[in-house]
Every structure is written in C-alpha cells, then in structure tokens.
A and B are shown apart, each in its own frame.
Chain A
Amino acid sequence: MGTKRSATRILGRSVARLEDPPLLTGRGVFVGDIRFPRQLHMRVVRSPYANAALHSVDIAPALAAPGIVAVWTAADIADLPPIDFRDPAAEALRPYRQPLLARERLRYVGEPVAVVFATDPYLAEDAAELVSVEADELTPILDASASPRSFAPGLSNEAMVLRAGYGDVETAFASAHVVVALDLTIGRHSGVPLETRGALARFDAARDVLELYGAAKVPHRNRDALARMFGRSTTAVVLKEGNTGGGFGVRGELYPEDFLVCVAAMRLGRPVKWIEDRREHLMAANHSREQRHHARAAVDADGHILALEDEFNLDQGAYVRTHGARVAEMTIAMVPGPYRIPAYRSVCHFRLTNKTPAATYRAPGRFEGTFVRERLLDAVADRLGLDRVTVRRRNLITASEMPFFRPLNALGTEVVYDSGDYPLLLDKALARIGWVSLQADLRRRRAAGELVGSGIAIFVEKGGLGPLDGTRITVDTTGAVELVTGGSAVGQGFATAMAQICADTLGVDYRRVRVVSGQTDRIQYGIGAHASRASVMTGSATHAAALKVRAKALDMAASLLQASPNELDIVEGVVAHRDQPGGASISLADVARHLAPDSPTLGDRDPGLTDEGWFRSDHMTYPYGVQIGVVRVDAETGQATVERFLLAYDIGRSINPMLVEGQLVGGFVQGLGGALYEEFRYDERGEPLSVTLADYLLPTVRETPAVEVLVTEDAPSPLNPLGIKSVGEGGITGVGAVIAAAIDEAIGMPGGVTRLPATPQRIKALLRAAAQRGRPAAAEG
C-alpha cells in the first residue's frame, strides 16, 4: 500500500458512527415500531407457580372476550417438540428442554402456559387475565447447592456433571506449603437490555415464506432452528434484524415466544406481533451467573500456584435452553485465566431449579470464574503475608510462553492463548493508576477513619469464535458500496466497524458503505454476533472480500488506464496512478459501469464490481485485561461506592478506539450492577421478587464513577490478517473480583466478601461480624 493511502487510513480512527443519525432523530426501526395490516397481538399467560402439577387451563372466558381471535394452550400445538439446542449438546440434557407451552408441569413463575391472540394489545392483555390455571402446587427447588432431588419421574435435577482438568492435582495438594479454600457465590443477574424482547411474524402464502422480524445475535442459526422445528426449507424461513435495543447475550436466543408468533402467523393467516413487557422480561428472558464455587488453591511458600481445584454448582433454572451447558463449559475453561497453574481440576454440578431458565450474559463464565480465581489469589497473598500484586506477577504466564496451550476446551475449540504480554499490561495498568501512591493515599484515608480500599484483577477474555464467516461486497454504478454480512448488529457499532475495514481496504469513504446484517435472505450463511466474534470473524471476512473487489477494480481500471494494476491505487473511491497526482484516473462508479453485463469493456471477466470473501478460524483469540478499582464503604448504611476504576485491556488491534472505549465502559457499568446492585431474588415459594426496575436495580449515572480506560495493542492476534482480538466483553470480566477485593480492604476483612452482589445488607452483616470480632472481651463478657 502506498504512503498516500496510509496517510488517510481510516482503520484505527475514532470516526463518527454510521448508526447514529436515525437513532438520534427517532427514525430507527425497532421491532416494536413495525406494524403490518391486520396484525394480531399475542399476549402470553404465564405460570403463577414455581412448581406445580398442571391440571387444566380454562380459556373459555378469554375466548369470549372482545377482539379475541384465538387462545391456545399446549394441546393446540401438541405437534411441536420442545425447543432444541442450537449447538450440539449432551444427550443427557434433552429431557430438560422447554416446551413452547407448559404441558403437565409448571416449572417456574413466568413459564408460558397459554397464548391469547387479539386485534389490539390492550384487548389481548384483558383476555389473558381471564385465563385461569388449575394446578397443585409442589415444593419448589430453589437452591442448586442442596442435595439433588427428583426433577421429573426418573430424572434428577442434577442434569449432568461436567469434569475437566489436567496435571497431577493430588500430588500438588499433598506437597503444598499452604492450601487456601474458599466458598464463593455469584448472584443471579442478567443482561436486561433497555428494549424488551419482541417478535413479529408474517407468513407470505404467495411465496410460501415465513418471515420473522425482531431477529438478533444469530439470525442464520435461529433461521435453521425455526426451519427444523416447522419442517420447512431454510430458504422458506427469513429472519430480519432491525435496530436492536441491546443484546448482551440475552436477546436473539430462541425463546418460546419466537416460535409461537411464527406458528400463529402460519395458522391464523395474519401477521402476529408480540412485545414483551418489563415484568415479563425480568421473569422470562434468560437469567445468568448464579453459581456457587468451592475452590481451593495449593501454593508453595513463595505463592506459586501448584494446583487449582474447583467444584461448583450452577443454577440453571427450570429448563435447559438453546445454549445447553455452555456457561458451565466456559466457566471450567476460563477459571485458570492468565496464570500458569500446572494442575487443575474442575467439576460442575449442572442443576435445574424452579427459577427462570439461565444462559449466557456478557462474559459468561469469565465474570464468574474471574471472581473465583482472583478471590483465591487475594486469599493466597493474605495467607502468605505477600503483596497481592507480587503473588499475581509470580504466577502470570509470560510473553515468552506464547502461544500458551491449556489442555482444556472452550466452545468446541482448544484453549490456546494466541498472544499476549500479561506482565507488561500489569505494569502499564499499575503505572497508569499510580498504584504505589494510591496505596499510600488509601492508607492515610483509612488511618483517618474512612472505609476505603482498592482491588485488582487480571483476566483473559476470548473472542473471535469461528469457524467461518463470509461477506459480499458490491460497488454499484454510483460508487456506493454495499457490504452484506452474516453478522449481527446489536447496538455495538457493528456497521461502522465493518464499514471502516471495508473502506480502509478498498479505498473508499466509509460513509459510502452500507452494511447489511441480520438478513437471512441476503446471504446464505452467518454466525452472527456473539462470543465477541464479530470484529474478528466478520471483520476478517470483510477484509478478504474488500481485497478481492479491490483487485478486480484495479484489474479493470488498469486495462482502461493502460497501466499495470500495481501502479494504481484507490483513494476515496478513485483509481489513479500511485505516483502521478493529477494523472489519468477513473472512479469506482465508472469501473463498475465498465463491468456491467452489457459493457463492451467487460471482456471475459465476471460481471459486476463485486466479490465474496471468507475467513475461517479454528481457534479463538484471547484478549486480556487488568482492572483496578477504589471503593469506599459507608459504615452507617453498608453501601459501597466505586470512586475510581481503571480498565486496561489489550485488544490486539483497534478498529475504532471510540467504539472500543464505549464497549469497555458499557461492560464495566454492567459489571458494577452485578457486583453491587443487580440480583434476581425469590421468596421461599419461588415467587420472583425482582420483577420491576424498581426492584432489579440497574446502575444510573449517580452510581457510575468516571472510568479510566487504557487500551493497548501490544499483542496483535496472529490468527487473522488485521491482528484483531475483540472487545465486546472485556469491560465486565473483572469488575466483581475487583470490587470484592476493594471492599475487603476498605472494611479490613481479607476474604470478607464471598458473595455477589455485595449489597448494603451483606456489607452491614460483615461490618457487624468484624465489630464483634474486634471486641472479643465485650462479646465474651
């Protein structure tokens, strides 16, 4: 590439987002904004019981209500199977799949029991209230750490036990200088996007095509699943993504409602729309995170970890959804993180309970696993009287050990850390926050009576899940570029990032690139946007396609300009001689015209300035981070407040630093919620208590500190041509661990925080316990 082009390179620049103008002017189109003539509105009647034998559902009064077109129970869709797994999952999990509507048993409050279809959403809701459910309430299973019980005849609520590990764990523990053991719990919380779920299905009988609007995350894979369920060809099911009000792992999974609107659209012959309300969302969309770990570390006298052992119970909720046991697998694979750890054994008890089904939420398994691992590192430091940074440094994998092979599997791939210099990022993070002076300052403040402390966590993330992505790029005769991807936009700035890669490679203005995503009738394959894969996989495919289109443009232009292609460059959509400013040139629009099917200059070339690019990858990329935070605790109320937070992250290669920072900070605030505020709580009957945003507390501006971000590009990935590693999840990963450690130090109780979220009530309990221990004489007297 010539120097002229590099001067105007757009890759790596914080350009304004292409997505913004319509969103800022109210012209975005979210699924709730779409309406079709004669559309019906679906309302779901949900189980009021956590666990009950279902006897009957009385729909007669609802059927007689105004505006009602149909009311269905399980009997009306008895021909449809439970919702299948999207990826291959263990046979043992199959009996735990969710039916579209409850059959003989109700398993969580919020489970769909019946659906009402009406001409108006208010009328649908009125009629849904007339549906009555007769059932015998049973004792619910609410604690995944209790001994396994019967879940269904012949089935335990422990659906499976997953085991993985490597090395000689027994010998390591037998020879350890010290063993530290912790009992740690991560609370049940989830993505909770601002837009609730929604789906709008329409059946086009003329073309025999079923259309589903409101698709997100993995539209092609969901198309395949829907086609399988309905016995249709994959080209006769079309999923369409519009604007998407936040994904975070939750949106874009296939839920009962997605299937139900489709069946109804086909059977009732009218478009069917369903928009979830917030109460439904908090009891019906996937929950996540709830795990209890019994973790042990065997260490030598210097704090070197000899082995880790982790046995944990995962509360899956009432059914196993599309993901199977993915969160469990990811947790197992990523607990060891950035440390050497010569021997490791993990056992997961994957257990069903009578709560909302659980699946992935941003950094699944890593938020949980990092909390566990970093709590252990803190405990090791405390036990040996060593500095917590020193202990971490002694165990970090170094740059010379890269690529680092960990004999574990994650998402069906071998865990091989592709590149990284973890100690370097640690040094940079400590320098950025001013660690030494920070510690001195915190000591002074504590001496003055403040409850204030700091925490640190180091972690490895992952991204770029393969196996294959393709994009098609077309330049039309106006010079506009269309980039069709199998990716998915969930609000992260996908279109801008892809347009930048395309523009940079091809030599056009990124604002001339229209990015198409989430339209299954525009491209045959796609794996969407999840597992922080989009920038790596779709980005690399875009790069490949743009290189081919560029080559085709140069070839055509060379013959028109009587030059050789390597003498030419493309700048701002114009092909010209690299070294002759002001010389002969031709626009890409004109090149496209010369490539038209009826063009006399086409020659034996394939018509159109268009081509496809593909990118395959067998291994994931592994970005990594260091997070440091300062927390103050109010002794009166027990409320923890984050004063400062540093997110240091090596992402390999940054496409748009502004978007990168936005992803990291957004992730951090979600992590803040999970660490201090957000929890799905249940009463002893299994009734969910967090069903409004007044009970399930999302952080506001007031809870959010100014976040410092340090993005480095010290370790580009060797696995793709641009060196990209991904950024979608790295802001959230260490937040729980850091805040827990900082609270410990603030209240002077090493290892005090064993459970997230660290709510004021829980911190108050710790403070009371500390006070009692602090005055043994008084306590004994």
Chain B
Amino acid sequence: MSELVDVTLNVNGQPYALRVEPRRTLLDTIRDECGLTGTHMGCEHGVCGACTVLVDGDPIRACLMFAVQAQGSAIRTVEGLARGGDLHLLQRALITHHGVQCGFCTPGFLMLVTGVLEREPDIGDEALLDVLASNLCRCTGYQGIVAAMRAAVAELRGLRE
C-alpha cells in the first residue's frame, strides 16, 4: 500500500476533498469515494466505454485515469445530466427510441455523446457513428441508440435554427 495523498475532485460542480492512493483510478474514486455509482466498470482496459465521464469537457475512460490526475479538472458524470426533474434531451431520446435495455452501458454512451455534441453540435452522421463505435453495448444491437442519438442531433439542429 502506498501513501495516501490529498486530492480534491470537482464532480458535477461539487467539490469532494479526498485522501486516496495515487494508484486509485478515477473510476473507483468516483464510485467508492464520491458515491456516484452511475459510472460503471465494464472492462478496466479502456475498450468498452461503460466508465466514460467528461473531464474538462472531454469524454475520458475513467478506468484509465488516476484520481490524482483529475485534480483541478471539472468532472461530469451521468448523475449531473438531468436538471432537477428534467431529463437531458439525450436521456429523453433514449427512452423514445428504446436505446436502453439493461442500462449498464447507458451512462457511458450518454457522457460520450454529450461531450462530443457540446463541441460539435452539428456532427455529421458518419462522424456520429464513428463516435458511437467507441463504446460497446451488448443488449440493444445499437439500433435504438443510433436512432436516439440521430434524433438528438436533429433536435439540437432544430433548436439552433
């Protein structure tokens, strides 16, 4: 066991003053120390994307980052997406288009696409599919996820026009 170090994580706008081992991943820290268990562990080697969170706006595999590396960054997780009782438009789209079955991969897809759309709201369809191909789902066959995300992109476009 190595020395514990002080780290303050800013998650969904809230500061968490923690003492963690330097080797503790951001994923485990968010889940176990901050108690935000919506971010999921699917593979711990950066392939499946179930642990995707936003770090300073970028979608990041939380299993491949140490908590101490996130000091000073703004972290966003699935728990921060809805505003009060109002679901984020991606969340609503996933309901409408049946993009959720077991729901285990869902937070990762939500944070992935949230991060990408905030930077590139007018993303083209091919680029959107490339983005979605970075995460894995084992239940839905992707059809509902793709339909939901396309609808969300269209809705965003409509909002801007």
Contact = CB atoms under 8 A, between A and B. Distances in A.
Contacts of A692: 43, 45, 47
Contacts of B42: 194-196, 278
B100 A17 contact: yes
A493 B101 contact: yes
Contact of A665 (B87, B134, B140): B140
A479 interface: no
Contacts of B21: 122
B141 A24 contact: no
A701 B103 contact: no
Interface stretch (A134-142, A559-567, A654-662): A654-662
Given A24-B95, A122-B24, A662-B144, A30 B138 contact: no
B48 A693 contact: yes
Select the residue from A67, A121, A193, A701 with max chain B CB neighbours within 10 A.
A701
A607 B130 CA distance: 59
Contacts of A693: 43, 45, 47-48, 136
Interface in A491-516: 491-493
Contacts of B132: 700-701
A25 B142 contact: no
Interface in B86-116: 87, 91, 94-96, 98, 100-107, 110
Given A194-B42, A665-B141, A666-B141, A24 B102 contact: no
Contacts of B151: none
Contacts of B107: 26
A701 B135 CA distance: 8
Interface stretch (A103-111, A241-249, A540-548): A241-249
Interface in B23-37: 23-24, 28, 31-32, 36-37
A32 B28 CA distance: 11
Select the residue from A23, A248, A278, A692 with max chain B CB neighbours within 10 A.
A23
Given A17-B95, A24-B94, A122-B23, A490 B102 contact: yes
B52 interface: no
Given A24-B95, A25-B38, A194-B138, A665 B143 contact: yes
Nearest to B102: A491
Nearest to B105: A194
Interface stretch (B54-62, B64-72, B73-81, B152-160): B73-81
A38 interface: no
Interface string B3-21: 0000000000000000001
A443 B3 CA distance: 69
Interface string A20-31: 110111111110
A164 interface: no
A659 B94 CA distance: 13
A157 to B, nearest CB: 32
Contacts of A30: 37, 40, 104
Nearest to B94: A24
Contacts of B138: 191-194, 246, 248, 666, 670, 698
B104 A246 contact: yes
Contact of B87 (A19, A25, A704): A25
B18 to A, nearest CB: 14
A765 interface: no
A706 B77 contact: no
Interface in A179-236: 191-196
A631 to B, nearest CB: 17
A339 interface: no
A31 B135 CA distance: 22
A218 to B, nearest CB: 17
B133 A23 contact: no
Contacts of B40: 30, 32, 194-195, 245
Contacts of A28: 38, 103
Contact of A24 (B87, B98, B134, B136): B87
B146 A701 contact: yes
B43 A278 contact: yes
A530 to B, nearest CB: 15
A24 B100 contact: yes
Nearest to A34: B37
Contacts of A700: 132-136, 142
A194 B104 contact: yes
Given A28-B38, A493-B101, A23 B143 contact: no
A26 B31 CA distance: 11
A639 to B, nearest CB: 15
Interface string A121-139: 1110010000000000000
A704 B102 contact: no
B1 interface: yes
Interface residues of A, number: 62
A689 interface: no
A277 interface: yes
Nearest to B146: A701
A702 B104 contact: no
A17 B142 contact: no
Contacts of B77: 26
A683 interface: no
A570 interface: no
Contact of B136 (A67, A667, A698): A698
Nearest to B77: A26
Given A246-B104, A702-B130, A194 B136 contact: yes
A16 interface: yes
Contacts of A694: 45, 47
A196 to B, nearest CB: 8
Nearest to A673: B138
Contacts of B104: 30, 193-195, 243, 245-246, 491
Nearest to A121: B28
A32 B39 CA distance: 11
A249 B96 CA distance: 28
Contacts of B37: 26, 29-30, 32-33
Nearest to B106: A23
A244 B40 CA distance: 12
Contacts of A706: 143
B101 A662 contact: yes
A277 B42 CA distance: 8
A602 B100 CA distance: 44
B142 A669 contact: yes
B41 A25 contact: no
Select the residue from B98, B105, B107 with max chain A CB neighbours within 10 A.
B98
B141 A20 contact: no
Given A24-B95, A26-B78, A278 B136 contact: no
B64 to A, nearest CB: 13
Contacts of A491: 101-104, 139
A666 B100 contact: no
A767 interface: no
A693 B107 CA distance: 19
A325 to B, nearest CB: 27
Contacts of B139: 194, 246, 491, 662, 666
29 contacts: A16-B95, A19-B103, A20-B95, A25-B79, A26-B37, A26-B38, A26-B78, A30-B40, A30-B104, A33-B37, A67-B1, A122-B24, A194-B102, A194-B139, A244-B102, A245-B102, A245-B104, A246-B139, A278-B43, A490-B102, A491-B139, A659-B98, A662-B101, A665-B141, A666-B139, A670-B141, A692-B43, A701-B129, A701-B142
Given A194-B139, A244-B102, 9 more contacts: A17-B100, A19-B100, A24-B91, A27-B38, A666-B139, A692-B47, A693-B43, A693-B48, A698-B136
